[in-house]
């Protein structure tokens, strides 16, 4: 089986889906690895490093797509309509593609893949079960984003994060408020704490309080009904507008006293909820900073503009996009380990074997045999459910 790794299609993305050590693991298991020349350069993985591990370097992108049985990318098809159209034209019938696809947010793209006869897997829908933790690239990228969000805030804040005892007097530590205590939020809490800030955090799932406190954060408890705020997979549910309105009212005073607010709240396949309003930003002290990690999903802050820095009433609102790409070396390393583990789970006797009794395979499989096969994606497309016998076919 030939594994192809092209350069990431999204302009400016410096990551690569497979690093040299990960390529060596696949080769050891009987696979052939084909790397587009320069695919790893942005993450500091040079062509020669891949050659040393036994991978083959191909000069052109078209060669990789033409020869590979399986295409590995981080963002399948890229993140813009132009790149998606170009990448689709390179894929062929019965080829397998693996990566992030945003299948719930962009189900039409899944239908386009099905029309090409491509078998596709989306890491976006990997089940959050113990056995899948070593494959959870969504959490890996979220961890990178949470870490980097704090550094972005520290660079923009005109104050120190830690407390200092100086001859000029005592300098108080910055107050950082993290909204959302998933993987990104927890990493942001840990990083801000390491830098010496006083850290507060809030999440609609009360079960995360212990995790927040274990990292040195102070959990902010709001008098809200939270019994149905998480789904069976551990992801936050979208709540109704009345819930968010009450939540915003209660958070107003916390935000007004914060030097930095980092927002991480997103719901798969839906626009990010607005948690920080214009009036909340206006209540913050001059020089304060908001870093909105949900910018790509529309933003948790009312003033967020994806990819831009907005200064409103002397408060800086930053909406970074593709944050993991700004730490490409380790982001690529983590993703590569996730994808290799996933491949090893799916590959038996040197080829892909789709055991649909395996929850990991079943929940990440999006298209197969010319059709969209994932139930939730079919629902988004208005398609009827597939017969049970077909969904369980091996």
Task: Give the model confidence (pLDDT) of 163-191 as tens digits.
Answer: 999 999 999 999 999 999 999 999 999 99
Task: Give the model confidence (pLDDT) of 322-360 as tens digits.
Answer: 999 999 999 999 999 999 999 999 987 778 888 999 999
d(CA 289, CA 275): 15
Based on the fold, state whether residues 110 and 167 are members of the same structural domain. no
Based on the fold, state whether residues 150 and 299 are members of the same structural domain. yes
Q: What is the pLDDT of residue 246?
A: 78
Number of domains making up the chain: 2
Contact 101, 120 (CB under 8 A): yes
Based on the fold, state whether residues 223 and 108 are members of the same structural domain. no
Q: Which of 136, 166, 250 is nearest to 202 (CA)?
A: 250
Based on the fold, state whether residues 73 and 110 are members of the same structural domain. yes
The residue whose two tokens read 């719901």 is 267
Based on the fold, state whether residues 355 and 299 are members of the same structural domain. no
Based on the fold, state whether residues 180 and 210 are members of the same structural domain. yes
Based on the fold, state whether residues 55 and 110 are members of the same structural domain. yes
Question: Which CATH number is 284's domain given?
Answer: 3.40.50.720
Alpha helices by DSSP H, listed for 137-270, are 137-156, 183-194, 209-214, 241-256
Which parts of the chain sit beneath pLDDT 70?
A: 225-239, 388-394
Based on the fold, state whether residues 269 and 205 are members of the same structural domain. yes
- 277, 292, 321 — which closes off a domain? 321
For the annotated catalytic residues, the residue numbers are 128, 133, 136, 139, 235
Query: What is the span of the domain harbouring residue 266?
Result: 143-321
Q: What is the pLDDT of residue 391?
A: 46
- 321, 342, 364 — which closes off a domain? 321
């Amino acid at each position: 089986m030939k594994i192809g790794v092209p350069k990431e299609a999204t302009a400016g993305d410096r990551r690569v889906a497979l690093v040299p050590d990960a390529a060596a693991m696949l080769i050891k298991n009987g696979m052939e690895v084909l790397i587009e020349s320069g695919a790893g350069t942005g993450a500091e993985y040079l062509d020669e490093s891949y050659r040393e591990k036994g991978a083959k370097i191909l000069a052109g992108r078209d060669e990789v797509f033409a020869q590979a049985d399986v295409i590995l990318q981080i963002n399948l098809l890229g993140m813009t309509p132009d790149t998606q159209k170009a990448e689709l034209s390179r894929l062929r019938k019965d080829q397998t593609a693996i990566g992030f696809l945003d299948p719930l947010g962009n189900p039409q793209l899944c239908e386009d893949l099905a029309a090409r006869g491509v078998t596709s897997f989306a890491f976006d829908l990997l089940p959050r079960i113990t056995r899948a933790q070593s494959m959870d690239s969504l959490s890996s990228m979220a961890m990178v984003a949470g870490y980097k969000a704090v550094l972005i805030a520290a660079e923009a804040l005109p104050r120190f994060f830690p407390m200092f005892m100086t001859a000029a007097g005592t300098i108080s530590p910055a107050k950082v408020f993290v909204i959302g205590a998933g993987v990104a939020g927890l990493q942001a809490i840990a990083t801000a704490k390491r830098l010496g800030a006083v850290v507060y955090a809030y999440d609609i799932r009360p079960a995360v309080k212990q995790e927040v406190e274990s990292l040195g954060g102070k959990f902010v408890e709001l008098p809200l009904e939270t019994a149905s705020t998480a789904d069976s997979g551990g992801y936050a549910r979208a709540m109704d507008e009345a819930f968010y309105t009450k939540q915003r009212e209660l958070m107003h005073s916390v935000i007004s006293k914060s030097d930095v607010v980092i927002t991480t709240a997103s719901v798969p396949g839906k626009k990010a909820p607005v948690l920080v309003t214009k009036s909340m930003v206006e209540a913050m002290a001059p020089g304060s900073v908001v870093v909105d990690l949900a910018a790509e999903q529309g933003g948790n802050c009312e003033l967020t503009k994806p990819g831009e820095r907005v200064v409103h009433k002397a408060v800086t609102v930053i909406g970074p996009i593709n944050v993991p790409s700004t730490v490409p070396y380790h982001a690529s390393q983590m993703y590569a380990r996730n994808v290799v583990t996933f491949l090893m789970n799916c590959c038996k006797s040197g080829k892909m074997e789709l055991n649909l009794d395996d929850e990991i395979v079943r929940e990440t499989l999006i298209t197969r045999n010319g059709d969209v096969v994932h139930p939730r994606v079919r629902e988004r497309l208005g398609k009827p459910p597939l017969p049970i016998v077909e969904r369980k076919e091996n």
